[in-house]
């Protein structure tokens, strides 16, 4: 097994953080069994594949989409409050409508970044586009006047 060298070599050019003396002492105090168990736990944690939307069933995706649609206003309002708090950190004019627009754009970006919101928002937009397409087809055939034949 490879030994960890904690010697004080020339680390001035390294940018990564160094182990503190407490961590060095804790690693040194582990026996072989504890060290292997800790290494195995870390390896299992790093080898886990994150769950994607393709791993979920269709029912679970639709359920999450409906839940997202129902809770999206509350989540967006929470992100709007976060954006208003973060906007207070900058010295800007509070009466400008551009300030409100910027606050809402920050809130929208925070909202989309949060967990799987972008996926379920995309699913809702696809469903909305299908509905609009069907409405367009229905209205297009309903109000179309019959054309007369050019050749008589």
Q: What is the pLDDT of residues 100-121, one digit of tens each?
A: 888 889 999 999 888 888 898 8
Cα–Cα distance, 94 to 130 (Å, whole number):
40
Burial class (CB in 10 A: 0-12, 13-18, 19+), 79: buried
Domain ranges within the chain, ordered by starting residue: 53-142
The answer to pTM > 0.75 is: no
> Which bin fits 115, alpha (ψ -120 to 50), beta or left (φ > 0)?
left
Highest mean pLDDT among 90-94, 107-111, 140-144 belongs to 107-111
Cα–Cα distance, 100 to 80 (Å, whole number):
10
DSSP state of 115: T
pLDDT band at 33 (very low <50, low <70, confident <90, very high): confident
Over the stretch 37-91, which tens digit does the pLDDT of each residue have?
Answer: 878 888 888 888 888 888 889 999 889 889 888 888 999 999 999 998 887 766 6
Q: What is the mean predicted confidence (pLDDT) over 88-97?
A: 67
């Amino acid at each position: 097994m490879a030994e960890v060298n904690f010697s004080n070599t020339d680390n001035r050019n390294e940018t990564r953080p160094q182990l503190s003396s407490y961590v060095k002492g804790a690693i040194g105090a582990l026996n072989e069994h504890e060290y292997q168990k800790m290494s195995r736990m870390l390896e299992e944690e790093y080898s886990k594949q994150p769950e994607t939307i393709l791993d979920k069933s269709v029912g679970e995706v639709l359920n999450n989409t409906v839940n997202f649609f129902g809770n999206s206003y509350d989540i967006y309002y929470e992100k709007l409050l976060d954006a208003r708090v973060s906007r207070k950190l900058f010295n800007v004019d509070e009466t400008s409508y551009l300030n409100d627009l910027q606050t809402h754009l920050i809130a929208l970006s925070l909202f989309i970044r949060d967990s799987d919101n972008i996926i379920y928002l995309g699913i809702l937009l696809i469903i909305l586009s299908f509905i609009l397409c069907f409405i367009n087809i229905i209205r297009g055939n309903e109000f179309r006047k019959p054309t007369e034949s050019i050749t008589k």
